[in-house]
Structure 1
Amino acid sequence: MTKEEAKSQIEELSKELMHHNHQYYVLDNPEISDYDFDQKLKQLQKLEEAFPEFKLSTSPTQRVGGDVTKNFETVPHKTRMLSLANTYSKEELEDFIKRIGKSISDPVEFVCELKYDGAAIGITYKNGILTRALTRGDGTQGDDITANVRTIRSIPLQLHGNDFPEELEIRGEIFMLLEGFAKLNQQRIEDGEEPFANPRNTASGTLKMQDSSIVASRSLDCFLYYILTDDRMFDNHFESMQKAAQWGFKVPSAEKNYIAKAKNVDEIFDFINYWEEHRHELPFEIDGIVVKVNDYAQQDKLGFTAKSPRWAISYKYKAEQVSTKLNSITYQVGRTGAITPVANLEPVQLAGTTVKRASLHNADQIEKLDLRVGDHVYVEKGGEIIPKVIGVDFDQRPPDLEPVKYATHCPECNTELIRKEGEAQHYCPNDDGCPPQIKGRIQHFISRKAMDIEGMGGETVDQFVNEGLISNYADLYTLQKEQLLPLERMAEKSAQNIIEGIEASKSIPFERVLFGLGIRYVGETVAKKLARHFANIDTLMAASLEELTNVDEIGSRIAESVTTFFSDPAKVGTVERMKLAGLQFEVVQQEGESTKLDGKTIVISGNFERYSRKEIKELIEKHGGKNTGSVSGKTDLIVAGEGMGPSKRKKAEDLGVKIIDENEFAELIGD
């Protein structure tokens, strides 16, 4: 392929993927399958790797993340980010409208919108390109989380059309989708970690994570609802939202009744009452309704208080909870052996659904609530698919109820449970003989982020284990098509796809194989760090606790889990079988790798023309260096671009740290 052909293909693929991304994540109108989209994205990634000089600054491949930010720079807001005054009553909302009527003699039109329960964000675009994203912070300044915001697929990296201003800021709310939140919590429970409390806090915490690839893996979404420009382009808020949609922003949809105009308090309450009844049908959480004066000239006349605009208010819904009877407690077993207690309830209506079960998390939670079978308990749906028990109605407790005696043996295999000091969960230690653990580990191993074996899913794993074909993930690599054909609902083509998928997984790189082993506390990021540090499985298996904790960001809990895993002869035997089968158990040396930056700690600051920040970080690692986000006495070098932070520059000068530009960096690595 010639350079011109590559450049043309990169531009065409980028444009096509941006279009499909907008159709799927903003308009909810996909035109191609997820598989076809992923294949096109992989094709673009390969072209960009082969011809990095043609990679666009707004490339769709940025959505997968990869940038690591050690410290988030604090940046002043160009215009203060205020909060809204809240009310929970119709009377206070009526008073708000009366106050506006006293200040504005002309008729007033209002706009009603959903109040998304997430984290406020302000995003700046220059010449249609996303350049900066800031959190609310204290309202006058916020943290620069641009690298993380770029991974959110509903936020455009480049605006549509050509009638947008040279510079604009758009504000909105980033939140976590309920389905993604439930899956994330289920994974945490299976990994023996405490589940997150609610989607709002999880979204806010995710946005401040250092590794943007983790941010990209979580179900974050965004609605944008307030435009700021130097020269006002619109007469009213509703009109500005219609134009923002044309520019490619995901804004509240009038078609879905996420935004509506209202002339008086009755029409406002029609909107409020509708969503109080239907809010639980939404794929995300809202905690109320925002009411705004639509006309910008009227907004200007009403002005602001020290904290809030006088032209807007939020009406907040009260948290919904119900009381029902606790009939029994059962126990579920995750893939790591973690035991999760579940409350089985007298069926009751909550948040638009019939609730029969609720999470109890662990033994400490049951003891803290003083829970007893037969109690009437308060149940709340805090963003989770399975609601949670939050308290006991002691006034209704019969006098003869006994305190709950937590399970002592596994409900699946009857093995005595263990609980390690300092941990919240009980565990079944029979990891090689407990059916849910066996199936769960294999399902994790074949998952997309691990071995990505096409043609297999949870039902297939259950079938293979139940038929005695496999009992661990190494058994997958001895399967023959002839063994699969007699199985129920297994056609020739399906069997062939599975066998080919298993064979193809042998080329999956070491860090994903390591993640697929399912070692407790070893997620994607930790697996990558361990793989890069130890280079192969044999060195890792032989590593001591001290050697493991010497790895950057590897603590004692992870180190103990790794050594425990590899001290088990059965697990080592499974690894040896997979080595013989041809899986990748060592880091493959990339073309162009060197030790030119070996042992050097390097900080990147500012914006660059020749490389993206991600590319510089990858080149530092490729040549043996280490990326850090802050300047210290251990910093050897700073690669500085345009707009390097003045505080970083001063600190570097005070410490005598050498500062080079991107061209000098290129010479240093011989690029």
Structure 2
Amino acid sequence: MWKRRGLALGLTIWSCYSTAACPSWSPFRAQLEIARLQRQVIQWNAAYWREGSSGVSDAVYDRLSDRLAQWQRCFMPQPQPDLSAPPVSGSVLHPVMHTGVRKLADKYALKRWMSDRRDIWVQPKVDGVAVTLVYRNGQLVQAISRGDGRKGESWTEKVRLIPSLPKRLAGPLANSVLQGEIYLARDGHIQQRTGGVNARAKVAGALMQRENSPLLNELALFVWAWPDGPAVMEKRLTLLSEAGFSTSARFSLPVKNADEVETIRTRWFTSPLPFVTDGVVIRRAKEPEGKRWRPGEGEWVVAWKYPPVEQVAEVMNIRFATGRSGKIAVVAELEPVQLDDKTVRRVNLGSVRRWHELDIAPGDQVQVSLAGQGIPRIDRVIWRTLARDKPEPPPAHFNALTCFYASPECLPQFFARLVWLSSKRVLDIPGLGDAGWRLLHQTHRFEHIFSWLALTRQQLESTPGLSAARGRQIWHQFNLARERPFIRWVMALGLPLTQTALRLSSDSSWSKFTERNELSWQQLPGVGAEKARQLVAFVHHPLVHSLTAWLAAQGIKGF
């Protein structure tokens, strides 16, 4: 709403990059990396101010600008100029300067801000382009872009072409200065569902183009400040509404505490609105005289933004995880970023092949968002470092028939098998994840994935790292696992067949599986010729035969 690129002016409470560690680069590499990113930021910034769009979202732009500033602090002793500031092309003085708005980190920061203030109001943080309107003797005589807060460009001719904007005012507003946001009018926009739809860039583009854009017909104004207007907010809003700025009055609500702000913020985030928003603005009704307003000094107004739908994070490391079927998954470990209510530290990139296609290396800056069910994902690489120091993936010689036994080279897949079989959908042994299985194996040295069935109560109670009570609990859970249905034990073994297909097979013993040929396997859903060959090979494999014989000796039903 108030903030434009390059005009932070210290308005943000704290940048998450301010505490980031400096890269361990040589001076020569630091010079190269900084120069590359500096050129890109300048290019994005120039495109934004010339055309209203730079090809990346404001969130991405802001984060990489912050990253550049951090690198400069690390490797350059002298303060560097603000590259993201708008070009010094605006020459029209604002009659009342734009203060900008300080962003609060969370509800607790808002509580502190509100603690010693009264007569507080909340407004939506409309996502558009900030402007000053000057009315003299009832006529719209000036429309000035936000610029640097002190000076901007004349948008008067373009703004006069916006049909929804009053060209003549009477009464107290006949000679007034208004500050507000020119926004793209929307029909029932739900921020949570649709996001920003690039509304700000569209508005900026329509106002900056030399030609008259048809989009001007879809623009409107949200007035968020009337410097030196009536001291009483209710009176101020009534007069604005009577003058044609009814949206401002409709969406300016009094609040008593941070809980009320949070309720309204949530409602506006999830409900249909006539504009795009990126948070809420909380302001005190009482304001200083307009002549005292200065960029970065509006202590009577703050913003609480919505949780970002995307973040930019640095890749700290690439590691490889071998799954129970032997497939190698690539995991990107990231600097922690907050998305919605989740702190994201790692993202599964999928297979080694997909990782190579994405071309992600430590030090790269990636865009992260949440997919369905809140699962973090990397959407794209925003910035790649010069040095592509990629780790070497492990050899891909593991498969569904390897690592039933605990040989040294097999431990990753071996423990993945144990974690799988103890999961709720299989044998349901709660509380035994990777760390728990490793602790048991460290003492009892499992031979294969079912060796734990032979552990006695006394052995588990005396396991280092476990209390006697926890040992008894695990022993009890192991005994309960013995009674799980036969199909669950087949799943624990790792037969490459879905649970649905297993149930439809109606086979109640392992011998029934061994009697099946490829054709009979293909009668089950999801099983083609190749899968049928894999199933036949699996059930007749010598290692599987040894394990099923061991389960039979342990009294597991069906074996």
TM-score, length of structure 2 as denominator length: 0.43
Larger-gyration structure (1/2):
2
TM-score, length of structure 1 as denominator length: 0.36
